[in-house]
Amino acid sequence: MAHTVLVTGATGMIGQALVPLLARRNDVGAIFALTHASEYLGSSCKVTPVRGDVTAGPALGIAPESSREILDRTDVIVHAAANTRFSASLDEARTVNLEGTKNLLAFASHCPRLKAFAALSTVHVAGKRTGTICEEDLDHTAGFVNSYEQSKYETELLLRERMSALPISVLRLSTVLGSSTTGEVRRMAAIHHALRLYYNSLAPMIPGKPDSLVDLIAAEYAAAAVEHFAAEYFQAGRTFHICCGENALTLVHLLQLTREAFLRYRPAWRKRAIEMPAIVDLPTFELFVRSVEEVGDNILRSSVAIIKHFVPQLGYPKIFRDVECTRLLEAKGLLKPSVLEFYPQVVCWLVESGWGEIRTLAGGAGA
Amino acid sequence: MRYSSMKVWEGRCREGSNSEQGSDLMQVGISAIEYVLGSDRVSVEELEARGMLDSPAARLSEFGFSCARLSRESSYTLATAAVSKLLGTTGVDRTSIDALFYAGATPGCHAVVTPDPLSAFNYPVAQLQYELELTHAAAFGVSQVGCLGLMASVALAKDFLLSCEIARRALCVSADVLPAGCKREMIYNVISDGACAVLLEKECDRNRILAYRQVTKGYYWNSIAQKNEITAAYFPTARNIVRDTLADVSLNSSDISCILPHNVSLRSWEILLSLIQIGREKLFAENIAKMAHVIAADNWINLRDAAETGRLHHGDKLLLFTFGFGANWACMVLEH
């Protein structure tokens, strides 16, 4: 019998790429795409947009006439809805990430056919831990850089607790940069804004060490991996790292690649002679941020606000082990795109589309 | 024969460059420094009360400033006073000065203005050369490099001395006085009026100039509109120029005994010190509170005062760094 999949966060960065992949599968008969927005969800007849919200209580705000059918038919849930705004308050982040998951778990517990509950998380639940982070690790007591990390960590604790009652798997993603084929970025995240600040000479320094790894993955790879672990090789009780792992680029290499890409795709940028951001220790970065917040004007404050909840993570160098995940995906023929190849493509797309503001590009932003 | 025109200087330079004098014998050092500040000492609280600050006085106090020195005299008067003081304390033969470099950050410092529009051609450097009887000094104005004016002048003066075989001494002076009543805060720094005179001598073993670098990034030419970009560019560019200048003379950060700063905020220096990996104890910061940022003169005022307080020792390697609108970064290494 074909699967019926409920996808939350269907219009998010992963959801947008995931829904078409699921729709193409022969073993998927229907997809309920939960969304609180009226965004385009593709043309597949398998996809039914469902107006709802994970924060709206255990019924998810779904109209009663639809709710019964979804409960009865759903056997796979992919939970991609999240508040990924790093600057959100802890309360705001918890409302969507923790409370929203609680609500969805309550909803799932009424799905009689449920076989798989794939919850998307982040490798950064490791927070301020340093060193090697393994897939099963969930003893993260070093603190967190932002409310997103903390709320997702708390969510994972909840999911672990409920694993005995429901078939739950956790898929931890690292930072999704953009498309490995077109370079397109469907949703701007903190890293894209940070690149824009560098391009515009508003990024003086970045915390970390030159050899700190920056784990980035391509959108297609992330979506395909989620599809695999949700619909094809679901493993209840398991946690997988969908990340770049030991192939991640170092911070200094990433900055050099960024500079090279700016120069290649916007030769006129050269004459600005903008320096690469200095790589500094965390206290120095925090002193700079504090100084700007105390006396800087609005533009500089806004610039700092964009990065201050995100880049401090680079001050806690770590490597995410993804051996098991990579082995399983490679066995399926799903290979990680080379970050050396897709990173410049994404930077090119950002530069040429004006960070998504120029909508006339063929296949460009917002298409 | 001394030099009274550029043409003669050019001729002598060629002659000098063909000479067999090695660079070891052609060292240039700084033998004397004198300065004068605006006579009115005004606290940051008073500046705030007069509407002359953008940031709260309390914040600028946290950043290390306590007052500004405001002048009721013109920049030219201060320049004259600083040079006269130097000539008086050193007793140097005025006719032995081969070149006079006059620096100022603002255009107003480079003209002796009268109602006649053509008075823009009345140059204070010529007037100073005449009035102080520096009759053998070739005169030059150094402008459009902001707070780098005096450091750039010293670098140019050094090159002048090295390229002219018989030249012995050059005198550099900077003088800046902001218009009465204008804001006294620029990019979170408190600005003072003042002038400073620096005497360079060939074969002088005091404060030998070991290295100098200047970086100009014209992209940031609009210092008003690009205030934020300049603030962001300041730190990585500063870090790089310090690193490169030290490398020019095969020195490491740890070889530096003292940093003679431009008197921008202590907070800014704390950040930069971390970037260049030099400890806070090596920063001569005493003058930041006392006199604030005296535009182009800070590094040299600090060199003089640090030496006078006994902080510097023979052979110490000194690092001078400054930034000037334009946008210019400069770094010099001296051996005391």
Tell me the per-residue pLDDT of B132-141, one tens digit each, with 9 for 90 and over.
999 999 999 9
pLDDT at B233: 95
Which pLDDT band holds residue B26 (cuts at 50, 70, 90)? low
Mean pLDDT of chain B: 91
Question: Of the candidates B183, B202, B221, which is a domain's last residue?
Answer: B202
Q: Nearest CA to A307 among A87, A154, A152?
A: A87
Residues of B with CB under 8 A from a CB of A: 55, 59, 62-63, 188, 217, 219-220, 227-229, 231-237, 239-240, 267-268, 270-271, 274-275
Contacts 24+ apart (CB under 8 A), A287-295: A287/B267, A287/B270, A287/B271, A287/B274, A288/A204, A288/A205, A288/B235, A288/B271, A291/B188, A291/B267, A291/B268, A291/B271, A294/B59, A294/B62, A295/B55, A295/B59, A295/B63, A295/B188
Q: In this predicted structure, which of A85-89, A95-99, A302-306, B81-85 has the lowest mean pLDDT?
A: A302-306
Q: Please give the Cα distance from A69 to A51 (Å, whole number).
A: 14
Which backbone phi and psi does A172 adopt, to 5 degrees? -90, 120
Q: How many domains does chain B have?
A: 2
pLDDT at B15: 34
pLDDT at B118: 86
What one-character DSSP code corresponds to residue B262?
-
| Shortest Cα distance, chain B CAs vs residue A291, angstroms | 8
Give the mutation candidate from A202, A255, A262, A275 for the B interface (greatest B CB count, under 10 A).
Answer: A275
Beta-carbon separation of B267 and A287 below 8 A: yes
Beta-carbon separation of B236 and A287 below 8 A: no
pLDDT at B13 over 50: no
Q: Are residues B43 and B87 in the same domain?
A: yes
> What pTM does this model have?
0.87
Mean pLDDT of chain A: 92
Q: Which amino acid is at B185?
A: E
B18-34: average pLDDT: 68
Which pLDDT band holds residue B18 (cuts at 50, 70, 90)? very low
Which pLDDT band holds residue A40 (cuts at 50, 70, 90)? low
By C-alpha distance, the chain B residue nearest A293 is B59
CATH number of this structure's domain A3-187+215-248+318-338, picked from the four choices 3.40.50.2300, 3.40.50.720, 3.40.50.12280, 3.90.1150.10 = 3.40.50.720
Q: Are residues B267 and B148 in the same domain?
A: no
Which backbone phi and psi does A38 adopt, to 5 degrees? -105, 55
The reply to whether B267 falls in a domain is yes
Domain residues for B287? 208-335
**CB-based contact A194:A154 (threshold 8 Å):** no
pLDDT at A36: 78
Q: Does A274 touch chain B (CB under 8 A)?
A: yes
Q: Does A288 touch chain B (CB under 8 A)?
A: yes
Chain A partners within 8 Å of B63 (Cβ): 295
pLDDT at A359: 58
Complex prediction ipTM: 0.85
Q: Are residues B164 and B213 in the same domain?
A: no
Q: Are residues B238 and B326 in the same domain?
A: yes
Query: Which comes out higher in pLDDT, residue A362 or A40?
Result: A40
| Shortest Cα distance, chain A CAs vs residue B235, angstroms | 6
The reply to whether B21 falls in a domain is yes
Beta bridge partner(s), residue A245? none
Which pLDDT band holds residue B111 (cuts at 50, 70, 90)? confident
Question: Of the candidates B202, B236, B270, which is a domain's last residue?
Answer: B202
Chain B partners within 8 Å of A201 (Cβ): 219-220, 229, 232-233
pLDDT at A187: 86
Question: Of the candidates B174, B202, B230, which is a domain's last residue?
Answer: B202
Q: Are residues B268 and B166 in the same domain?
A: no
Task: Provide, rounded to the nearest whole percent, the portion of chain B with pLDDT above 70.
Answer: 92
| Shortest Cα distance, chain B CAs vs residue A212, angstroms | 17
A107-130: average pLDDT: 96
pLDDT at B19: 36
Q: Are residues B240 and B271 in the same domain?
A: yes
Beta-carbon separation of A201 and B237 below 8 A: no
pLDDT at B17 over 50: no
pLDDT at A294: 86
Q: Nearest CA to B176 among B129, B109, B127, B84?
A: B109
CATH number at residue B32: 3.40.47.10
Q: Are residues B49 and B186 in the same domain?
A: yes
Tell me which residue in A276, A288, A303 faces B271 most closely, judged by beta carbons. Answer: A288
Q: Are residues B135 and B279 in the same domain?
A: no
Domain boundary assignment for chain A = 3-187+215-248+318-338
Q: Are residues B223 and B74 in the same domain?
A: no
Q: Please give the Cα distance from A7 to B293 (Å, whole number).
A: 61
pLDDT tens across A164-181, in order? 999 999 999 999 999 999
Q: Are residues B276 and B313 in the same domain?
A: yes
Tell me which residue in A273, A276, A291 faces B267 most closely, judged by beta carbons. Answer: A291
Q: Are residues B197 and B242 in the same domain?
A: no
By C-alpha distance, the chain A residue nearest B188 is A295
The reply to whether B1 falls in a domain is no
Chain B partners within 8 Å of A288 (Cβ): 235, 271
Q: Are residues B259 and B300 in the same domain?
A: yes
Chain A partners within 8 Å of B278 (Cβ): none
pLDDT at A135 over 60: yes
Query: Which comes out higher in pLDDT, residue B224 or B251?
Result: B251
Q: Please give the Cα distance from B109 to B178 (Å, whole number).
A: 9
